[in-house]
Structure 1
Amino acid sequence: SKQYPMPKILKTVDVLINACCFKTHEYAGVTLCLKNLGIGLPSQRVVGACKFGLPHQHVAEVHVDVNYIAQKLVPRQFHIIDALYAGTWVPVAPYFLSGLIIASRDPVACDAIGTACMNLNPRNIGTTRLAAQYGLGKMEYDEIEVVGVPLEEAIIQDFPRHPYKARKWPWTPDMYGKVTNWDQYYRHPLYGVPNYPRW
């Protein structure tokens, strides 16, 4: 069975506040709320630098396992995507001002809306899909109440694509997402793809 080293403080806190950046990622597809906790919570003292001790070949499952444990330990959570600036998960990649803040008590909904704002399909992100399947939150657009700026106005049509090297490996957006190529990954389900009635 899988085991994850979790911070002891999770057993004593009343609320968990999770703040993350707004980026694409060459292995996970996006790096938002679920990945932030999924990689951030397991102790570096146990799993090592860059969390290499975690089973990265099953990245979606790892993220969902850790988030499931965190929800059991701290049911009251608040998730914030700092999308004031946006970009890709590469140190030298340019960032740009997007001016968004996305927040929710539901990490799956937060990630789904964040992914849609990147003009990407949340269903193609393995972590988001698997988390919704296991009841960690809502992923479908018609199940999420969006307040503030309408989603249609928040979508960044020309969100920067990931560097060329990531596109060499069609499985990198996340195997569980069943994404066969980067062209499929970069389609948006509601805007610009007539075959998708919803995401």
Structure 2
Amino acid sequence: MRGLEVFAGELPGFDPAAAPDTPVELFTEWLRHALRSGVREPHAMTLSTADHQGDPVARTLILKGVDRDGWRFAADRTSPKGRQLAARPYAALTFYWPPLARQVRVRGPVVAEDADRSAADFLARGAGARAEALLGRQSEPLTDLGERDRAVAASLARLDREPGLVPSGWTLHTVRPESVEFWQGDKERRHTRLRYTPGAAGWHRELLWP
């Protein structure tokens, strides 16, 4: 493993003194830079929650949006992550863009958005994604792949008949950030870390040791 190259290629600079006042502004700058740099799926993120025993559970999802209220993702209430968030509505998000050696970490309470916003998110998904979500069987044991394919085909046919169908448990969630950290890697391991935390007078910024 030690022979595998890390931080290959030209890395971008990062001057934390010139960082904007809010983490959303800096995140947007970094996301746009990742897009311009050809990073594939820069909106993919690791969502970490806690199970009923308090042990961490992580999986990769797609970011649905970000604004001053927080970072958004969607999940069905009956899925494992949906049940975990219902029991403990707190999560961590991790973005990593390897070609740029950049990482963003977001932590905070999770708020479920209303039914209208959740339905709009579901209807904006592609047909295949909606058909799979309508099955409501995420993480259940699967007998064989043919069973999956038949179920998805039936679900697609149902969507053709009912294009406005939205599962009752589909929920758009927003992570309200209590901490947002930006990490810029360096070939000599002089990494730069900048953390934002909210305060009464706005966002507080502080540097962290690598």
TM-score range, shorter chain: under 0.3
> Which has the greater radius of gyration?
2
Instruction: Provide TM-score, normalisation by structure 1.
Output: 0.27
Question: Could you say which structure has the higher strand fraction?
Answer: 2
